[in-house]
Amino acid sequence: MNAPAERRRSLHGEWTSRLGFILALAGSAVGLGNIWRFPYLAGENGGGAFVLVYLVCVFAIGLPIMMSEVLIGRRGRRNPVRTMALLGEEESGTRAWGLVGLLGVFTGFLILSFYSVIGGWTVAYIVEAASGAFVSAGSEQVSQVFSDIVSRPLVAGTWHTVFMILTIGVVVLGVEQGLERAVRVLVPALVALLLVLLGYSMTTGRFLDGLVFLFEPRFEDLTGASVLAALGQAFFSLSVGMGAVMTYGAYLKDEESIPRSTVAVVLSDTSIALLSALVIFPIAFAHGLDPAAGPGLAFQSLPLAFGQMPGGVVVATLFFLLLSFAAWTSAISILEPAVAFVMETWNWTRPKAAIVVGAIIWAFGFATVMSFGPWSDIQFWRGTFFDNIDHLSNNIFLPIGGLVIVIFAGWVMARNSTADELDPQAGWGYRLWRFSARYVAPIAVTAMLLSYGFGLF
């Protein structure tokens, strides 16, 4: 029930510095959810009031869950399955908690299988944008570009393959030489691209309109569904609940502060989401686009604007390069837990584990590729094969994983165990985390699970 007599060491290496960990975890958190999903959700839910609720949810619920997952990861120092089994035995006398880690690894497997397909679209769009495909294009032409990429299995499958090769290639190289080296390049590059695009957005003549839309609270537009959408976005954008954060936490050095590191990650993640909206909204307003255009905003609405603006080829290419980098850093973190699990379970080398696991996920991803093409008419339960996998993983498995992880940290782990990982000198900070981990976060995530997962309200 107490802390291990001797601190475990990671079997796979460690981040060389706190900055490396922050960049890696920020790269995991900053994905398509920030740059693609957040702006259109804010657009659909009235802007400022949604953003305010989102910020509260991020810091009151998302941050404590992320801290819980990191502290569990560093305490166990193994892949999510073995970490939860080891800590479960130490803290409660049963290794059955390992099933929670297994759920996380399986959820990551499902998510990466379709995330790689969408990541492939972003890479394809870099090529389309750079070739001038959107120059002076009308809505029908832009829709045709999207359809040609998404609905043709050979094309979508090729870009899905390219994206998975890029992801596997980084994971093969290990923690220091692969994961950390990649994020030290990709995350700053992502931020630089975002700032360049923000500079362009300021020249559109509608930047102030975008600023007002994003930050002026219009509470009359806020509904119960909007609050749940903000909670869901806060949860999903931080990559919690699928073992990625736990795995990255396993590589964090003992002397590094979990609270300071996770706060830095959450601030980075939130800032990039807000900056992305400030890039997209002024461009949308300047070209008469609806900021509430939904998922098609990035792939169908914005290319229309890019095609009409001066220098649109450069701006469009940079935008989809930004999307690709965000998708890539997230995909790397999703693959790593499954690779660590296979390495520890069967004593495989990292290259063998990364290639075999990645290949299986790649092959499974073709079911998603087909569901946008020849299988699009095959509908069951929630819709196509993709719709069902997306719903199961994002709306049911992820919330269950996050819920059980925060309950384990808040209720099952001994107080001295969690205090040993979080800064025991923090005082009020530790008490705030513990209160949220025990009460606020479980209630909020349960509400999200019942609403999104099971549609009860």
Confidence (pLDDT) at 308 = 87
pLDDT (average), residues 107-124: 97
pLDDT (average), residues 397-417: 96
CA separation for the pair 351, 173 (Å, rounded): 7
Where helices occur in 241-311 by DSSP H, the ranges are 244-250, 258-286, 296, 302-308
Q: Residue 387's Cα: distance from chain center in Å?
A: 18
Assess contact for 224 and 52: CB atoms under 8 A. no
User: Which structure tokens are listed for 363?
Assistant: 């092959």
Instruction: Provide the phi-psi class of 78: left if phi over 0, else alpha when psi is between -120 and 50, else beta.
Output: beta
Greatest CA separation for the chain: 67
Q: What phi and psi values does residue 455 have, to the nearest 5 degrees? A: 60, 35
Please say if the pLDDT value at position 87 is more than 80.
yes
- Tell me the per-residue pLDDT of 325-357, one tens digit each, with 9 for 90 and over: 999 999 999 999 999 999 999 999 999 999 999
Please say if the pLDDT value at position 300 is more than 90.
no
Please say if the pLDDT value at position 190 is more than 90.
yes
Measured CA distances, 262 to 3, 39, 233, 249, 348 (Å): 22, 23, 18, 10, 31
Q: Torsion angle of alpha carbons 49, 52, 57, 63, nearest 10°?
A: 160
Confidence (pLDDT) at 424 = 62
Please say if the pLDDT value at position 5 is more than 60.
no
What is the 8-class DSSP label of residue 454? Answer: T
CA separation for the pair 364, 389 (Å, rounded): 11
Please say if the pLDDT value at position 1 is more than 50.
no
pLDDT (average), residues 388-410: 96
Please say if the pLDDT value at position 385 is more than 80.
yes
- Tell me the per-residue pLDDT of 151-188, one tens digit each, with 9 for 90 and over: 999 999 999 999 999 999 999 999 999 999 999 999 99
Residue-averaged pLDDT of the chain: 93
Please say if the pLDDT value at position 269 is more than 80.
yes
Please say if the pLDDT value at position 2 is more than 60.
no
User: Which structure tokens are listed for 284?
Assistant: 């949308």
Return the percentage of the chain with pLDDT > 90, whole number.
82
Question: Structure pTM?
Answer: 0.95
CATH code at 24-453: 1.10.4160.10
pLDDT confidence bin for 425, thresholds 50/70/90: low
Can you state the angle between helices 441-448 and 398-407, rounded to 10 degrees?
160
CA separation for the pair 208, 282 (Å, rounded): 8
Assess contact for 117 and 443: CB atoms under 8 A. no
Assess contact for 185 and 328: CB atoms under 8 A. no
Q: What's the Rg (C-alpha) of the chain?
A: 21
Confidence (pLDDT) at 33 = 84
Q: Within a 10 A sphere around the Cβ of 270, how many other Cβ atoms? A: 24
Please say if the pLDDT value at position 3 is more than 70.
no
Please say if the pLDDT value at position 66 is more than 60.
yes
Q: List Cβ neighbours of 341 (8 Å cut-off, separation of 6 or more).
A: 79, 80, 81, 82, 105
pLDDT (average), residues 20-33: 93
pLDDT confidence bin for 57, thresholds 50/70/90: very high
